Structure 1
Amino acid sequence: MDPTTDFVELLAKTHYSFLEGASSPEELFSTAAMMGYAGLGIADVDGLYGIARAHTASKKQGIPLYVGTQIPWKSTSLHLFAMNRKGYGDLCELLSCFHQELPWELESFSSDLLAFIPATPFSNLDELQALFPRRLAFFCSLSFEGRDAHKMKQAETLIDTFRLPCIASNEPLYHIPQRKILHDVLRSIKHLTPLTSAGFHLTPNNEKYLKSLATLSQLYKDHPEWLRATKEFASLCTFSLDELRYHYPREWLPEGHTSDSYLRELVEKGALHRFGKAVSSTVSNQIEHELSLIKELHYADYFLTIWDIVQFASSKHILFQGRGSAANSLVCYLLGITAIDPIRMNLLFERFISKERHEPPDIDIDFEHERREEVIQYIYTRYGRARAALTAEVICFRKKSALREVGKTLGIRADEIERFQLISKKRPLDQIPVEDLQGESTHLSSELLAKYLALCQEIYGLPRHLGTHVGGFVLSQEKLSRMIPIEKAAQASRTIVQWDKNDLDNLNFTRVDILGLGILTAIRKCFELIQEVYQVQLSLSTIPAEDPKVYDAICKADTVGVFQIESRAQMNMLPRLKPRTFYDLVVQVAIVRPGPIQGEMVHPYLRRRQGLEEVDYPHPELEAILKKTYGVPLFQEQIMKMAMTVAGFSGGEADELRRAMGIWRRDGKNRLSLMGEKFRQGLIKKGISQEFADRIFSQIEGFAEYGFPESHAASFALLAYASAYLKVYYPDAYMVALLNSQPMGFYNSHTLLYDAMRHGVTVQPIDINFSAWDNSLISPHLIRLGFREIFGLRKSVSQTIERLRKTRPFFGFSDFISRMKEALAPDVLTKRDLFFLASSDCFQSVHLKRREAFWEIQKLGLQDSFDLKSSEDPLALPPEKAWEKVTQDFHSFGISLGEHPMAVLRSERTNLNAIDSRSIHKAKNNQKVKHAGMVVSRQMPPTANGVLFLTLEDEWGLSNLIVWKDTAAKYKQILWTHSFLLVEGTIQRDPKSQVLHLIVTSVSPL
């Protein structure tokens, strides 16, 4: 046997060892194949984090993968490898116990594992020999350093003493020696030390790479049997990840049912509920089509599990709604998972499930964000923690973190790093010149800065640590902990698997995404308030559809606080698009996205909708696909249908295009560009113009940035309509619900409240004798603010106030202090709590204004917790001036219920000479004006090329400003740091829609 041609490197580490390895599985396997290795073992630290990627890379390169890990054990470290499927399950179980701090003994998991230990003296060697008979070996790693001879001699002695075999391993940490400097940086980051002080944390040379077989033969010329032993031990490991057989839970099926029969029964009941007895042939045919495909692909258990989860949510009155591609499915609609009728919407089922795709369906469900944890814990309880876990998210170095962490290792000061981050905010790392960094630092050399940028580019995208996916759950019929290691998540009571969603998809594990959505919380709370105050019972399914009054408000862009259509860009689009039907609203939700914008589809759509441009189709076969959108493609589904109809794509290729749009951030744009180019050439071959094909290609790239499928837009449009309806008919209840569901949405509480007041709602201030923790709807059109609005106030303080008030109200400040102090013991009432309360001016019902309250609190003593020494006669202090009151209100709870800040400034600055927002909206096109306001939003989207969109607010409403790139750069410091601005510019008014902007030419702080 040739000792080198049969060499297997068993102890390689990938960058999924998190700051220990510096190369990807793909790089390692590609290099190993090029070197002629007979296989590659991956032994990442404490887990199998990179094994799924390594499996894919192994198959691509055609060399075997050996699955292992490195864990600490007593005074040494063990490299453990799975010999077979049982061994792999034991390895996963062992790692799960290790990470969840559960009791475990190596003996329970050792029978089907190989173990390798460093060839160094070790006191527990006899124990390991007993646990791993004929499955234990030393490894010796020679690295052209001064200690190689000593290492070899030590290994020889141990082999003779314990009669154990030995393997050769270079313990690779990277695939090529040039990665040594990056590895040094990673180690320095891990140990929180600059490179200059890292010392023994770094490897002594750059030899921890995949060496050539000739080099290995020379290095181990005295012991070629160590090289041969690698293949001998590797041959004992026959396990492949292809052996994993994943099954969805099924044990709760009713007696006498199979998964498919029970699913059919539920779907038929759902059809009766949704459509009554008169089910059309179209619906029946689609049901049969979907159920037969679900049966053929063995997905029935998955659908039943999702149904079980939403049934739980319904039983607990937790609002939910399925979205994404699941809304394309009639079965999901009939099971009550989604709320959109895909037959009426003519949605593409194949975007959800396709026989050619060979991947499981993906159902995303939004739940109320405040109650999502109830659903998560139900799943853990229902299926057990050994069979259920959340999906991981691999947190990678991004531009900001790369600049920060690499900068620290190179000894760059924190203030300089912040400046580097600022100037690179809108540029990729490879487009930042060294000269730009030199302009921000006077003492750093160009050589150091060039090295800094090069290392930042290298580290960008490398795994940093493991996080928790936003809501992806993996459930299994068998023990999940024997298929993927499970570890604790950062949040208590949660656990995660060690793979991310892409790994799970590639290995055909099915997920369900349990997501949180704030608007669902707000809508449910609004329904409850309407029931309580108006005695009207509403639900998402009973809100009247297609209400003209609702669409009137939407067309006027009266949508502050309305889900999905409240942003500056959406409000500018609404008077142009003028939605009058639900499908119009679907388009509205989707059109202000990078896909349609980058593909230059927005203006053609608007012109055709307004009758200013004739509707035509680049090819006759496209009419059926594009008719609903006036011949202009806006949705991903339309791109897929076009690919199959006129570009010559199969269904599988069209779906591959969809996937390429969805995962380019992980896999890069090469795959997307290849698929997009094929699509473009397919259109041109059909006689479609080069110009149209180019625009579609740009649109595909835009969808990769952020584009909506039609089904997703429809799901969100449903909630947009519901929230608009509630705002139009119950602005008081809707506002209370929004405030009680924060943080969420686009605007702060002040802007939301002022909008409500402009809609006839009266708002009363926070008061110790009347307020609860939540904001309250006292009666129609009358709101009382709650203690939750006070920045920093503990909820327990509010709860105590409410409990004490049930006996009797507070009669004075001393009464409040004495009762609160007694009630809160041992949770001591602090001066800090009192200052929070006083700053909100909430003692007015006991005849104590803010200034007097501050004075009384100061008299209570100097300690944070205090003895009662309050006087019954507060000192008379001069009243607050108007601007002081506004400032204190904003400092305390971000809201001013008195005069609007701009009204106060206007009265104090008599020479302001700036028109208000009312006059702005009446101004003529091209009129030059001066305007002042409070900044409520700043937006510079990637598609805007440096243009800044500002929204200002005054006592009369909102005004929209556009600051072109050069002006935005000139006044950058003022625009981004000041809250009140005085601007000059020119009115730009669209004659058709009357949409108005102020084009800013100069800016000054107010």
Structure 2
Amino acid sequence: MESIDTYIKNRKHPENTTYKTEKLRDILSVTRGCLIYQEQVMQVFRELAGYSYGRADVVRRAMSKKKHAVMEQERKTFIAGAQERGIEASVANSIFDDMSSFASYAFNKSHAAAYSLVAYRTAYLKCHHPCEFMAALLTSVLDQTAKVCGYIGECERLKIKVEKPNVNNSFAGFRAKDGKILFGLLAIKNLGRTLIKTIVEEREENGEYTSFYSFCKRIYGNGFNRRAVESLIFAGALDCFSLNRRQMLMMLPSIIEELDAQRSSQLGGQMNFFNLLGEEEQQGPEVPNVDDLPQEERLLREKEVVGFYVSGHPMAQYAELAEKTGCTKLFDLSDGNSYSDNDKVKILGIITSVKKKMTKKNEEMAFLTVEDMTGSTEVLLFPRTVAENRALIQPSNIVSISGRLSLREDRDPSVVCEQLSPCPSGAEEVTAQPKKKTVHGLFLRVESEHCGEKKRADNLLSIFEGRTPVRYYYCDTQKYSAGNTATEINEPLIQELKRILGEKNVVIQ
């Protein structure tokens, strides 16, 4: 990297090219006096110090792997050999230093030529066919969530819209269409290739899916399972059916039960009235009248099944603030070009996880995962920083972090925190005022904390473990419970609760 400026200057003004010894002229004249190829390193060893081809290659490999003990031993041999050929020891030592610092990053000629060709072709494609290029790039890293997230961020910079997953237009991989990119279903967790193939082939043969029930019925039996359909719901791939996600989650068990029963009847050679109806006449179970999942849960579920947020991002409203305050985009930390080890960085992001660890001195340190719209990174907090910011070190908090970048060959980039603070003042100037917080969950009204109806409801709720908070309202005290219970909302559960407690005493918000 240090030779780039020298090479450019010498290319513009070849008369200024200099050599530490004239014996380097024939070796380096084709590259303007700079070491560029590994073959040149080997040639320097052979012609200036009398090395054999085999030994020159051994030294080259030692340099590339930074084997300092081997290199220092070879330094003495190189200087001695160079002196025998009329080169001063100081000059030989300087040449060896140049080769040592260069060899770790050098390519052989064939490798360099191949990289140059690939770089030119990819730059051409990105310039002239950006949509198709980014779609192919996204498909190539489907199993690497961080890179998918970063490339989607690059699409936003290029003003290329990446559509949400949709069973009526998505394919297995990402695809370019009409200046947009269709989301690849393989990026959604818990979907097997067999099911995705069924979804695409059935759509192409018999047209788009018209309803949630129709979708389940048409792909039933070919990789179809409850977990996969739930992942499609959480990813937003079934939002095209004019139902909210909670409604589909509540309808799914009944649909599966009905389809299982139909299959059993068919296998047994039985026929019923519903088998005689056309598909469009079969409407499936009744649609429950419930509100959608709260926005926070929608985003959380999207991240669980896709690896990143699809319908929005908690950091979207802070993007302008991050740019105004000079914050680093997290994707840039890992691109290998923008930053070096120990560089100072400033980031603005949301804490998505916190891991704490005790030191040998019995002090608490923490490892945070912090995310912005382009990617995520690990942030290390030493005990003093943890002690000063305990209330701030919580998942879902938006924080500003100043620190130093840690780059290691065998690890992903991380940041060593030097200063941690809440979202900087001024956010209100570029973000909308937050709405009044609404408490979401399943609300059940009972006579008292110890009544029989509550005990029966508790037993029922224990069967359906989930993440939706349950809050009781006690009529005798006119107070709500703490909300320590959580359940999974579904239609059979709601119907049974309404039977036990009464229609008006069960509310989903």
* Match among 173, 182, 189 for residue 784 of structure 1: 182
**Is residue 983 from structure 1 mapped to residue 389 from structure 2 by the alignment?**
no
1:710 aligns with 2:118: no
Q: Does 1:888 align with 2:339?
A: no
Structure 2 CA distance for partners of 1:867 and 1:745, relative to 1, 3 Å: closer
Counterpart-to-counterpart distance in 2, 1:944 and 1:933: 15
Hey, what's the Cα distance between the residues in 2 that align with 1:858 and 1:689?
A: 82
The 1:681–1:875 alpha-carbon spacing in structure 2 relative to 1, beyond 3 Å, is: farther
Aligned-pair distance for 1:917? 2.4
> Alpha-carbon deviation of 1:768?
1.7
1:936–1:951 contact (8 Å) kept in structure 2? no
* 2:269 equivalent to 1:856: no
- Report SS of the residue matched to 1:764: coil
1:219-238 equivalent positions in 2, closer than 5 A? none
Contact 1:951 1:960 (C-alpha < 8 Å) held by counterparts: no
Unaligned runs of 5+ in 1: 1-590, 592-599, 908-913, 921-930, 987-997
Are the structure 2 counterparts of residues 960 and 789 from structure 1 closer, same or farther at C-alpha, using a change threshold of 3 Å?
A: closer
Asked if residue 800 in structure 1 is aligned to residue 198 in structure 2, the reply is yes
Name the structure 2 match of 1:738: 137
Q: Given the superposition, is the C-alpha separation of residues 794 and 607 from structure 1 closer, same or farther in structure 2, using an over 3 Å criterion?
A: same
In 2, the alpha carbon distance for the partners of 1:619 and 1:688 equals: 9
In structure 2, the residue corresponding to 1:708 is in which secondary structure?
coil
Show CA shifts across 1:721-740 (max 9, x none).
Answer: 21111111111101111122
Q: CA–CA distance in 1 between the matches of 2:25 and 2:75?
A: 21
Q: Paired residue for 1:360?
A: none
Structure 1 residue 649 corresponds to structure 2 residue 51: yes
1:776 Cα deviation after fit: 2.1
* 2:316 paired residue number: 903
The residue that corresponds to 2:23 in the other structure is: 621
- Whether the aligned pair in 1 keeps the contact of 2:198 and 2:219 (CA below 8 Å) is yes
Distance 2:147 2:394 in 1: 17
* Partner SS state of residue 131, structure 2: helix
Structure 2 Cα separation of the partners of residues 744 and 788 of structure 1: 8
Map of 2:40 onto structure 1: 638
- Partner residue of 1:916? 322
Shift in CA distance, 688/782, structure 1 to aligned 2, threshold 3 Å: farther
> Compared with structure 1, are the counterparts of its residues 717 and 808 closer, same or farther at alpha carbon in structure 2 (3 Å cutoff)?
same
Q: 2:271 is matched with which residue?
A: none
Task: Check conservation: 1:800, 1:820, Cα contact below 8 A.
Answer: yes
Determine the C-alpha separation between the residues in 2 that align with 1:977 and 1:653: 57
Alpha-carbon offset, residue 852 of structure 1: 2.3
Cα deviation for residue 803 of structure 1 reads 2.3
- Alpha-carbon distance in structure 1 between the residues aligned to 2:174 and 2:206: 21
Structure-2 residue corresponding to 1:690? 90
**1:712 aligned counterpart, secondary structure:** helix
- After superposition, the Cα gap between the structure-2 partners of 1:1001 and 1:609, relative to the gap in structure 1 and judged at 3 Å, is farther
Aligned-residue offset at 1:810: 1.9
Maintained 8 Å contact 2:37/2:107: yes
Tell me the secondary structure at the aligned position of residue 167 of structure 2.
coil
CA contact (8 A) 1:762 1:782 kept: yes
- What TM-score do the two structures reach when normalised by structure 1? 0.31
Give matches, 1:146-545, under 5 Å.
none
Shift of 1:958: 6.8
| 2:206 counterpart SS class | coil
The match for 1:831 among 202, 207, 226 is 226
How many percent identity over aligned positions? 21
- Aligned: 1:727 with 2:129: no
Question: Does structure 1 residue 658 correspond to structure 2 residue 76?
Answer: no
Q: Does 2:170 match 1:771?
A: yes
Which position in structure 2 is the counterpart of 1:762? 161
Classify 1:787/1:622 alpha carbon distance in 2 versus 1 (closer, same or farther; 3 Å): same
* Amino acid of the structure 1 residue aligned with 2:400: L
Q: Distance in 2 between matches of 1:971 and 1:797?
A: 48
Helix, strand or coil: the match of 1:717?
Answer: helix
How far did 1:919 drift?
5.4
Q: Using a 3 Å threshold, how does the CA distance of structure 1 residues 783 and 639 change in structure 2: closer, same or farther?
A: same
**Partners of 2:243 and 2:190 in 1: CA distance:** 21
Corresponding residue for residue 844 of structure 1: 239
Aligned to 2:219: 820
Query: Residue 3 of structure 1 aligns with which residue?
Result: none
1:1002 — aligned with what? 419
State the secondary structure of the residue aligned to 1:838: helix
Contact 2:166 2:240 in 1 (8 A): yes
Distance in 2 between residues matched to 1:971 and 1:750, nearest whole Å: 29
What secondary structure sits across from 1:740 in the alignment? Answer: helix
Task: Tell me if the contact between 2:38 and 2:108 (Cα under 8 Å) persists in the aligned partners.
Answer: yes
- Assess if the C-alpha contact under 8 Å between 1:625 and 1:642 holds in 2: yes
**1:797-841 CA distances to partner (integer Å, 9 max, x unpaired)?**
1111122222132221122222222x42xx5x2211111111111
Pair 1:752-2:176 in alignment: no
User: CA contact under 8 A between 2:209 and 2:215: conserved in structure 1?
Assistant: yes
In the alignment, the residues of structure 1 paired with residue 140 and residue 63 of structure 2 have an alpha-carbon distance, to the nearest angstrom, of: 33
Classify the secondary structure of the residue corresponding to 1:848: coil
The alpha-carbon deviation at position 679 of structure 1 amounts to 2.2
Distance 1:840 1:1001 in 2: 37
Q: Partners in 1 of 2:69 and 2:39 — Cα distance?
A: 22
Shift of 1:629: 4.5
Separation of aligned partners in 1, 2:195 and 2:146: 27
Taking a change above 3 Å as real, the CA distance of residues 727 and 876 of structure 1, as seen in their structure-2 partners, is farther
Contact persistence 1:793–1:833 (CA under 8 A): yes
Could you tell me whether the CA contact under 8 Å between 1:771 and 1:784 is conserved in 2? yes
> d(CA) in 2 for partners of 1:744 and 1:609?
43
* Matched-pair contact (CA < 8 Å) for 1:790–1:836: yes
Q: Deviations over 1:880-908 (max 9, x none)?
A: 5554443333222134444444124x39x
Q: Which amino acid aligns with 1:800?
A: T
Task: Tell me, yes or no, if the aligned pair for 1:939 and 1:949 is still in contact at 8 Å.
Answer: no
Which amino acid counterpart does residue 813 of structure 1 have in structure 2? F
Alignment of 1:573-592 (within 5 A): 591=1
Distance in 2 (CA, whole Å) between partners of 1:762 and 1:819 is 30
Deviation string, structure 1 residues 479-499 (Cα, Å, up to 9, x no partner): xxxxxxxxxxxxxxxxxxxxx
Would the aligned equivalents of 2:344 and 2:402 in 1 still touch at CA under 8 Å?
Answer: no
Q: Distance in 2 between matches of 1:752 and 1:809?
A: 29
How much does 1:761 deviate?
1.8
- SS of aligned partner of 1:877: coil
- Report the secondary structure of 2:162's partner residue: strand
Q: Residues 753 and 792 from structure 1, CA distance in 2 versus in 1: closer, same or farther, beyond 3 angstroms?
A: same
| Equivalent AA in structure 2 for residue 693 of structure 1 | N
Separation (CA, whole Å) in 2 of partners of 1:894 and 1:646: 55
Q: For residues 817 and 699 of structure 1, do their structure 2 counterparts lie closer, same or farther at Cα, with a shift above 3 Å needed?
A: same
Note if contact 1:951-1:959 (Cα within 8 Å) is conserved in structure 2.
no
- Aligned CA RMSD, in angstroms, stands at 5.0
Give me the whole-angstrom Cα distance separating, in 1, the residues matched to 2:31 and 2:305: 49
TM-superposed deviation, 1:777? 1.9
1:930-986 alpha-carbon deviations (Å, 9 max, x no partner): x48666755999x9776687887899987999x9xx999987999x99897512479
- 2:61 and 2:403 map into 1 onto residues whose CA distance is 45
Which residue number in structure 1 is paired with residue 490 of structure 2?
none
